[in-house]
Amino acid sequence: MGEPDDVLSTPPPPADALTRLPGLERFGRTTTRLHPRPGPVEATQSHVGGPLRWPADEPWPTCELPHQVREEVPIPLELLDRLRAVGSRRTRPRHVMAEGETELYDEIARLVGPGYTGFGSVNDGPVVGYRYVPRPHPRPNPMVAVAQLRAEDIPDLLRPGGADLLQVLWCPFEHVQANLWGPAVRLRWRREADVTGPDAPPPRGDVGNKGYLPRPCRLHPEQVVEYPYPEELPAELAERIDEWESDDDDDDDDGDGDGDDDADGDGDGDHGVDYVTTFMVPGWKVGGYAKWNVTDLSPTPCRSCAGPTTLALVIDSSEYDGGTRERWRPVEEAGLEGSEAMPTGVVVGRWGAMRIFVCESCPDLPFRLDVQ
């Protein structure tokens, strides 16, 4: 881990946030922010994207699942010209399609075929349609080390069966698996004391998505308290949150209207409070609560026993964004330009977050993935 001067600390929440939401405090739960930052790492450390303590006599995990490969299909100029002509007839509001426009988009989708995801061009080149099609790996593909987490460093790490080391690997291709589009994930739980002898160097494999190759990052774990997504709270408390947000919006409307709250246009001026921004931790974290900002609250039962699962790890595309920066950017980095917001180089989904939920009741510790 880092030296004492490497500590990263989260700013405190607004002073009156909890007092204005009586009853919320009892739902507080700790989570450990990992604060990954690029730097050299060793196999004996907790890290993102570095070498693992992997016994030389233990086979390295590989993936044999079909992976999704993007293909490009040329779109005839005549069809594109018709689409532009019809699109030019749009009236206000401009986002409402003109008569016949939807049918032309459907025609393009049929032309491109199954797996169609859209169309476009690169560097003013020809317009092509994109589709993803399944392809088998020509050989078992070695997985990529994503993270290694030690319970000694990370207080909120699960310790199933006395394990004190979690290793996360994935196949850096797109896969379709259990309603999820993304990398195929493997978890390895260990007792660190059981890992003896030389470590195995990771074999090189094929890479389909560079956003699934994490930069080596040192971790700066920090335990903080967060609170549930509003839909997980009792109805009366969720209503109180709505009132709190609405009351603050009303207060903003009564301001002096000088327009200076967000002069730099970055979207994080004082324009009212937001519960999720205030109380839920973004970025890479271990434990705590999951956000449901894309799908709304969804069940995460174990696929084996149908019992409850626990949020073990969040792998996020960024540590914060323009809307959450002032609340969650570490105090020690307040003067930096923002490059620390995307330290790992990992991009999940559409700049989203992958959440790993683990069942601690089943002996084989099954897990399920969700991307928001």
What DSSP line would sit under 296-352, residue for residue?
-S-----TTT----EEEEEEES-S--TTTHHHHS-GGGTTS-SGGGS-S---BTTTB
- What pLDDT is attached to residue 15? 87
- What pLDDT is attached to residue 322? 87
Cα first-last separation, the chain = 29
Contact of 148 with 53, CB cutoff 8 Å: yes
Amino acid (one-letter) located at 210: K
What is the DSSP annotation of 266-287? Answer: SS-SSS---HHHHHS--SSEEE
For the chain, list residues with pLDDT below 70: 1-5, 248-272
Domain boundaries, the chain: 4-64+140-371, 67-135
Contacts of 150 (CB under 8 A, 6+ apart): 45, 46, 157, 164, 165, 192
- What pLDDT is attached to residue 262? 39
- What pLDDT is attached to residue 261? 40
Say whether pTM exceeds 0.75. yes
Quote the tokens at residue 15: 């002073």
- What pLDDT is attached to residue 335? 82
- Any idea which fold 4-64+140-371 has? Hypothetical protein YwqG fold (2.30.320)
Residues shown for the chain? 372
- What pLDDT is attached to residue 3? 45
Quote the tokens at residue 357: 């939920």
- What pLDDT is attached to residue 250? 58
Q: Which of 64, 303, 277 is nearest to 179 (CA)?
A: 303
* For the chain, counts of helices (H) and of strands (E): 5, 17
Q: Can you tell me the distance from the alpha carbon of 173 to that of 271, in angstroms, rounded to the nearest whole number? A: 40
